[in-house]
Amino acid sequence: MPPDPQKKKYYDSIIVVVFVSLLGAMLGVVGSGYAWRVILVEHSAFWLTVLVVMLATTAGIVFTYSFVRYTQKPNLRSMIIMFLGVNVVLFAFAYLITHPSIALSSIATRDRNRTIVTGLGFLLTPGVLAGSLAGNAPVTRKRKRIIGLWGAILQPLYFVLLLASPYPLFKVTDPEGGLGGLTIVGLLLTLVVGGSATVALVRYVVEWYRTRNRIVLSSTLTLILWIGSFAIYTLLEDPQQIAEPLWVGGVFAGFLLLALGMILTSIIEPHRVLESVVEERTSELRAARRESDFYLRMWVHKMGNLLQGIVTYLELLSERGKRMDEQEPYQAAMALSNEATFFNRQVSKLSEIKSSKDAQLVPVVVHSYVLKGLDAVRQTFQEKPVSAQVDVEKDLMVEADAMLGVLFANVIIQAVRLASRTPAEIGISAAVADEVRLRIKSPGTTLSEADKRFLVGSDIPELSTLNIHLYTARVLADRYGGRIEYSRMIDEDANLFEIVLKRV
């Protein structure tokens, strides 16, 4: 069962609202100039510690739920995001212990810290770029090996090399910092990382516009936040500026959006869909139970009454010396017997309809099934002649199955029972537009209010108002995705039944 479109839009809007709030806060701090203020070392250390812990926690959540998503529906994008999450945890703590404000070790220098940040950039950028290029590609053993080599071997080795080398592997900025302080290596890395992120962003936007996938939406908005963080980091001149925790907060905000998208897609939405499926199946089970009870009570009530009547008239026939015409109870007993036979056939048809409810509907010719329905009606009403005029195109087709004749026959039976003339005059025609309307018209008394309500409703009728041939007709019309409509033609003192079916 697919997700509810309204719920899907609601979940997507949550992600967008969170993104707008986070981006607005970042732009507000930068636009006000507050980001370039220098703060005390201990304040910087405190906020960086808090943000790095939050970043690591959120990256761990992203890893967990991307793994869940991958087990639910294996795809390369979930696998890439999974490795991003676990490796960012490592780089986050490496960034923390090498930052000059923290001074947790002898290797806490600005050059090494900026090298770690560059390593983080090379972790995030290839990841998002690969996700945009091959996220929906088929999961093959070769692709899984390549991603596994990148995420499980090369990135951890790169991390260890950056952290354990006696000296920083490369220098990306001069002491003056900022855009003007970038070295040749730093400028080259800036162009590579920025260009890759921009290409990935364009591809993500195009893919989201085409698929409306929530993970793609989260990745797109995350990348916008990361590009903003990258720009702030590039313009940063002093590690004690507020811009330092601000760009770290931007990376954290991106992972927060990823985590939110993963949780909504992997946990909450499937749970809601499962709840809807359970509710639907429970409702179907209750309806099936009510229907089963109805059939049992119907059989016991109706057949019991008919059989009792037959037995009563047969007992009257067996009595001698009774002053009455023996032909009268005989005819009454035969009428009840015919009614019992008709009822039994209808129940048999109902059982056949229910047992084949999953049968595929196919195009069928209306004209031939109208004739079959009329033959069945004439056999049922042998004591009441039926005169029918059929005006239906012989090549007209609708979507139905072999039970279509039963639908036509049962509606015609109702028209014949209401007919006020002998023989019963039945006119059958078809109006064709987007749907096919088979019209059954006959002069006669009006349909009862109980039958009118029952014909257009969907509930199981009470035994006191049971009209089994109309009930069978309604079940078949529902099965064909159609309906039965009734109207009274007062000027002509006639009834009009319209069977509406899907045109082929």
User: For residues 155 and 153, what is the distance between their CA atoms, to the nearest angstrom?
Assistant: 6
Distance of alpha carbon 138 from the chain centroid: 23
Whether residue 24 is contained in a domain is answered as no
In this structure, the answer to whether residues 250 and 144 fall within a common structural domain is yes
What pairing do the DSSP bridges indicate for beta strands 362-365 and 397-400? antiparallel
In this structure, the answer to whether residues 341 and 404 fall within a common structural domain is no
In this structure, the answer to whether residues 347 and 363 fall within a common structural domain is no
Structure-block tokens of residue 82: 């999974």
In this structure, the answer to whether residues 306 and 398 fall within a common structural domain is no
Whether residue 383 is contained in a domain is answered as yes
pLDDT for 463 = 47
Give the mean pLDDT per block of 10 residues along the chain (504 residues). Answer: 62 89 92 89 88 89 81 78 83 84 73 78 70 68 83 81 76 70 78 82 86 84 88 84 90 88 74 67 70 61 58 58 53 58 65 70 90 84 79 89 87 86 86 89 87 68 60 84 89 90 86
Number of domains in the chain: 3
End residue of a domain, out of 219, 251, 278: 278
In this structure, the answer to whether residues 318 and 461 fall within a common structural domain is no
In this structure, the answer to whether residues 405 and 444 fall within a common structural domain is yes
Whether residue 30 is contained in a domain is answered as no
In this structure, the answer to whether residues 267 and 372 fall within a common structural domain is no
The residue segments making up the domain with residue 475 are 358-502
pLDDT for 303 = 58
Whether residue 9 is contained in a domain is answered as no
Structure-block tokens of residue 457: 């409703």
| Closest residue by Cα to residue 81 from 163, 188, 200, 246 | 200
pLDDT for 65 = 78
In this structure, the answer to whether residues 345 and 230 fall within a common structural domain is no
Whether residue 23 is contained in a domain is answered as no
Q: Is 0.75 surpassed by the pTM of this model?
A: no
In this structure, the answer to whether residues 105 and 214 fall within a common structural domain is yes
pLDDT for 92 = 84
**Is the CB of residue 412 less than 8 Å from the CB of residue 451?**
no
End residue of a domain, out of 355, 374, 408: 355
pLDDT for 464 = 44
What is the per-residue burial (b if ≥16 Cβ within 10 Å, else e) of 179-212?
Answer: eeebeeebeebbeebbebbeebbebbbebbeeee
Q: Residue 191 half-sphere exposure, CB side, CA atoms within 13 Å?
A: 6
End residue of a domain, out of 323, 338, 355: 355
The CATH number given to whatever domain includes residue 384 is 3.30.565.10
The CATH number given to whatever domain includes residue 184 is 1.20.1070
In this structure, the answer to whether residues 298 and 411 fall within a common structural domain is no
**Is the CB of residue 239 less than 8 Å from the CB of residue 99?**
yes
| Closest residue by Cα to residue 52 from 89, 98, 80, 79 | 89
Whether residue 283 is contained in a domain is answered as no
| Closest residue by Cα to residue 126 from 183, 94, 83 | 83
Whether residue 464 is contained in a domain is answered as yes
Whether residue 222 is contained in a domain is answered as yes
In this structure, the answer to whether residues 369 and 490 fall within a common structural domain is yes
pLDDT for 206 = 87
How many CB atoms within 10 Å of residue 373?
24
In this structure, the answer to whether residues 130 and 258 fall within a common structural domain is yes
